[in-house]
Structure 1
Amino acid sequence: MSIEQENTKARIDIPVKNIKIEKPNPVEQYKPRDQIYVRKVTGFFQQLRQKMNFFFLALFALLPWLTYNGNQAILLDIANQRFTLWGLTLWPQDLTLLAWLFILSAFLLFFVTTFLGRVWCGYLCPQTVWTFIFIWFEEKIEGSANQRKKLDAQKMDFNKFWRKALKHFCWLMFALLTSLTFVGYFAPVEHVFLDFFTFNSSFAMAAVIWFFAFCTYGNAGWMREIMCLHMCPYARFQSAMFDKDTLTVSYDYKRGENRGARSRKQDHKAMGLGDCIDCNLCVQVCPTGIDIRNGLQYECINCGACVDACDGVMERMKYPKGLIRYTTEHELEGKKVHLIRSKLIGYAVVLIIMSSMLVWEISNRVPVSLDIIRDRTELAKENFNGEIENVYTLKILNKSQTDNTYRLSVKGLENYTWHGDQEVMVKASSVYTLPMSISVDPYELKGYMTDIEFIIELVSDEDEVSLTHESRFFNKR
């Protein structure tokens, strides 16, 4: 028998089946987020958060209504390119101050994040503040977390309809008030409210108000944790500022495991259990719906809700508090904690330097600006007296909030004649345009071009304000 025949006999017939692979429906692959029903919790950190939220919310609502010297104290008038901050008026020429302020804010955020983690998100972020306010409306109208869950599961009836309608109405009204107040920082707040409620607002103003109102309604009412998890850039780069000595909300794994249910009278140590009774309250009170027992997660906003919930359970079980607490990775590992460290000192030094430079910039800011525009038709001309004359347009910007009188002069020319006003009164926070010219005997000029300086001085017995601006005086060829 040949080798080929032997191989043929040795073959085993394997039945072939046609397997049909069903591709899943693309729509079914997407799983919408589960609704998070945040459970109410009380405790030290929640009281602290509520008081801070109330303080800054009141500050946000009241600041546009404050006045200073008869004007709105804070007005960021973008239309007129003028920013008023109490006694300080900033113009586009003062954008360096704004740059210093942004740099200072960035390093302050770095410093706080390195030291206390993501506390900005948990205690001060407007998204968090407004989300908790909207949740408060939910609790008052629809009930507790379990009641809200049952209400959403049941069919639409009159009870469900009026509760949902009232909740969304309250959300919209609060969002509208928020939007009106916010727009009041960029336009006179009295006119914003009066024109809106009397239907006298312009189309652009009304569109802006409703746009911000619906943004607030959508962000705090519907999107909530989506903003924190997927849209906020701070959640993505915060870990770059963390180290093993950063205070964050953490679960003490060594103390808590093994977790499991037990009665208060049982000796859980003898049962081989840790202090965690696996009640899941830390998950139920979390506004982003995470389980802090899984370790540090970028979704955690450091609000401390799980800390208060766990401390309450530990107190009822007569266990030591702090199973979930603000702590550091080094402390959880039993190592020495370094609260004062090189990175923190570096941020603090930069903060001090930046703050000093900002204060120096503000204190040395001259409250007047002078722009010089030459006549564009001809650089120089000869007038009827035989003198060489140059024509200028001076734009005097009074950056202060008081009406001031200024005196103008020129340095660099001998025996010149000033044609126009040399003393002008400029109203507060306004620009004065002064057309003028200077004429000189041609024998006083040494060349085709002479460097000169315009000098503007404040006419006052109290303040000595002086500013110079370079320019050129041209001779005829």
Structure 2
Amino acid sequence: MGNKIPTKNVESDPVIQFTGDDAVQSRDKIQVRSIDGRFTKFRVIGGWLLFILFFGTSWINWNGHQAVLWDIPNRQFNIFSITLWPQDLVLLSMLLVICAFGLFAVTMFAGRIWCGYTCPQSVWSWIFIWIEKKVEGERNARIKLDKQPFSMKKLGLRLVKHSLWIAVGLATAITFIGYFTPVRDLVLDLVTFNLDSGTLLWIAFFTVMTYLNAGWLREQVCIYMCPYARFQAVMFDKDTLIVSYDEKRGENRGPRKKKADPKELGLGDCVDCSLCVQVCPVGIDIRDGLQYECISCAKCIEACDSVMDKVGYERGLISYTSEHQLEGNDWKLFRPRFIGYIALLLAMMAGLLFALLTLIPVDLEVDRGRGANLFRENFRGDIENSYNIRVMNKSQQDQVYTLTASGFDELSIVGNTTIELKSGEISQVPISVIVPASKLNSRSEPIFFQVQAASDEAIHAESESRFMGPRKRQ
């Protein structure tokens, strides 16, 4: 095997125990030991940023409305100054594709680092673990409490813990629903017991799911439910940074006195303290090799470094490293596939930004009249065509639009050319366009309709149609 990162058979996972004919799986509860270090500080910062973004954004007002609101009943999606409509959903699809490629690039760079630092499942699980520690004590105290028989003290501690878990789940559910219905009205209706049954059901659902996922299932979501764990290896290469154990340096494992020479004892640097296993949120032993369950949270790195400091050994027995580095080669950041991911990601981000900046907040559609005749000739001999003009105000303010037409030296519009629309309102206006017969050069010619907002010259739209006339006599 040399210095290559070894892999581990899933069936030897210490978290899962099989009984009988292997048809039933029993899960040992993982009690995570606390450990502090530089990577934990990064995780705390990332967690706070995610919490502020999630819980704070829904309460921001912007131009008189909620800054981010997915108003499904009205089929509009407000994102600060931008309002997206069903016909703009291609932009949301672009955003999802960008997020996917961003995840691919991050995974190729440093494995499942997204899972370990900023994935909501991991962040909420860490919050629930922190609550558990504050209520029931550290790892050994929690294990001891689990083994104790029923008592009022145990019942009290469990009630406090689960009540706090449910409180966090409820806050999460209310905030999440608050992105789909005005959050201020939602909270007011909740405290006044005026919520409709549908909204109340959704709040209960997301409260329970948060409570179960972060409080009970935890690593099971990452291992068995998240598809990312299954296909991540496809994006790895030999320069991907992965949490790895230096087997050559660490073996053979074994305890020793602090001042003892490990070489004389035939031992490596690993003192076999199992601290790396105790701090692991998914319950694996990183010393067994690369495992798909690993979420690259670096807890084992911090635990091992703390032990190395105590025994006076060099840090880095467990570290973020690559297969090439373990083989003694240099680490390469810029490799073709990684550069391709970054280039494609930047191009798509630039395209999305351009599309958002040039998004026109008014929509204009023109349909020809559905009469039996394509045109009609009035008493003066002029040619008249009928159209149905559909204008949609996609901005966040009420607007007054002026309708014009062009394409001929002389034309006139019969009908309402001033259209007043509230934000999100749609209006259909029937009009007729009259063109002198002498100005027609063919039976069918292009005609252009424009709408212009009175409040802003940049808010305008144009649509092309056809103007029909009689066949020219030879």
TM over 0.5: yes
Is it true that 1:284 corresponds to 2:291 in the alignment? Answer: no
Kept in 1: contact 2:375–2:468 (CA 8 A) = no
**Counterpart residue number, 1:459:** 454
The structure 2 residue matched to 1:298, chosen from 282, 292, 298, is 292
In 1, distance between residues paired with 2:183 and 2:29? Answer: 37
**Counterpart residue number, 1:252:** 246
Q: 1:217/1:270 Cα in 2 relative to 1: closer, same or farther (>3 Å)?
A: same
Amino acid at match of 1:62: G
In 2, distance between residues paired with 1:206 and 1:433? Answer: 38
The structure 2 residue matched to 1:187, chosen from 152, 176, 181, is 181
The structure 2 residue matched to 1:139, chosen from 124, 133, 141, is 133
In 2, distance between residues paired with 1:283 and 1:396? Answer: 63
In 2, distance between residues paired with 1:153 and 1:381? Answer: 89
**Counterpart residue number, 1:11:** none
- Tell me which moved more, 269-278 or 346-355: 346-355
Q: 1:378/1:195 Cα in 2 relative to 1: closer, same or farther (>3 Å)?
A: farther
Is it true that 1:47 corresponds to 2:41 in the alignment? Answer: yes
Write out per-residue CA displacement over residues 228-286 of structure 1, whole angstroms, 9 at most, x where no aligned residue.
Answer: 00111111111111111111111111110000111212221110000111111111111
What RMSD in Å do the two structures reach over aligned CA positions? 2.5
Q: Could you say what secondary structure the match of 1:31 adopts?
A: strand
In 1, distance between residues paired with 2:194 and 2:318? Answer: 54
1:175 Cα deviation (Å)? 0.4
Kept in 2: contact 1:260–1:273 (CA 8 A) = yes
Write out per-residue CA displacement over residues 74-102 of structure 1, whole angstroms, 9 at most, x where no aligned residue.
Answer: 11212211111111111122222222222
**Counterpart residue number, 2:231:** 237
**Counterpart residue number, 2:403:** 408
1:18-417 alignment, distance < 5 Å: 29-376=23-370, 378=372, 380=374, 390-412=385-407, 415-417=410-412
Q: Could you say what secondary structure the match of 2:334 adopts?
A: coil
Q: Could you say what secondary structure the match of 1:75 adopts?
A: strand
In 2, distance between residues paired with 1:232 and 1:350? Answer: 25
1:408 Cα deviation (Å)? 1.0
In 1, distance between residues paired with 2:271 and 2:435? Answer: 94
Q: 1:106/1:264 Cα in 2 relative to 1: closer, same or farther (>3 Å)?
A: same
1:344 Cα deviation (Å)? 1.7
In 1, distance between residues paired with 2:238 and 2:138? Answer: 38
**Counterpart residue number, 2:426:** 431
Amino acid at match of 1:458: A
Kept in 1: contact 2:19–2:25 (CA 8 A) = no
Amino acid at match of 2:364: L
Write out per-residue CA displacement over residues 133-174 of structure 1, whole angstroms, 9 at most, x where no aligned residue.
Answer: 111111111111222222222222211111112211111111
In 1, distance between residues paired with 2:195 and 2:438? Answer: 63
In 1, distance between residues paired with 2:213 and 2:48? Answer: 19
In 1, distance between residues paired with 2:436 and 2:191? Answer: 65
Amino acid at match of 1:463: E
Kept in 2: contact 1:379–1:474 (CA 8 A) = no
1:381 Cα deviation (Å)? 7.1
1:318 Cα deviation (Å)? 1.2
Q: 1:377/1:176 Cα in 2 relative to 1: closer, same or farther (>3 Å)?
A: farther
In 1, distance between residues paired with 2:58 and 2:236? Answer: 36
In 2, distance between residues paired with 1:383 and 1:162? Answer: 89
1:448 Cα deviation (Å)? 6.1
Amino acid at match of 2:453: L
The structure 2 residue matched to 1:421, chosen from 416, 419, 422, is 416
1:432 Cα deviation (Å)? 3.3
The size of the alignment, in residue pairs, is 453
Q: Could you say what secondary structure the match of 2:273 adopts?
A: coil
Amino acid at match of 1:324: I
Write out per-residue CA displacement over residues 420-442 of structure 1, whole angstroms, 9 at most, x where no aligned residue.
Answer: 22122333343333343335567
Q: Could you say what secondary structure the match of 2:405 adopts?
A: strand
In 2, distance between residues paired with 1:25 and 1:49? Answer: 37
Q: 1:338/1:412 Cα in 2 relative to 1: closer, same or farther (>3 Å)?
A: same
Write out per-residue CA displacement over residues 33-63 of structure 1, whole angstroms, 9 at most, x where no aligned residue.
Answer: 1111111111111122112101211221100
Amino acid at match of 2:357: S
1:399 Cα deviation (Å)? 2.3
Q: Which has the larger radius of gyration?
A: 1
1:444 Cα deviation (Å)? 6.2
1:128 Cα deviation (Å)? 0.2
1:374 Cα deviation (Å)? 4.6
Kept in 1: contact 2:108–2:235 (CA 8 A) = yes
Structure 2: segments with no counterpart, 5+ residues: 1-17
In 1, distance between residues paired with 2:405 and 2:418? Answer: 13
In 2, distance between residues paired with 1:210 and 1:373? Answer: 47
Q: 1:162/1:437 Cα in 2 relative to 1: closer, same or farther (>3 Å)?
A: farther
Q: 1:464/1:167 Cα in 2 relative to 1: closer, same or farther (>3 Å)?
A: closer
**Counterpart residue number, 2:4:** none
Q: 1:253/1:434 Cα in 2 relative to 1: closer, same or farther (>3 Å)?
A: same
In 2, distance between residues paired with 1:185 and 1:75? Answer: 5
Kept in 1: contact 2:390–2:428 (CA 8 A) = yes
Q: 1:316/1:469 Cα in 2 relative to 1: closer, same or farther (>3 Å)?
A: same
In 2, distance between residues paired with 1:94 and 1:329? Answer: 44
Structure 1: segments with no counterpart, 5+ residues: 1-23
- Tell me which moved more, 338-347 or 316-325: 338-347
Amino acid at match of 2:135: I
Amino acid at match of 2:164: C
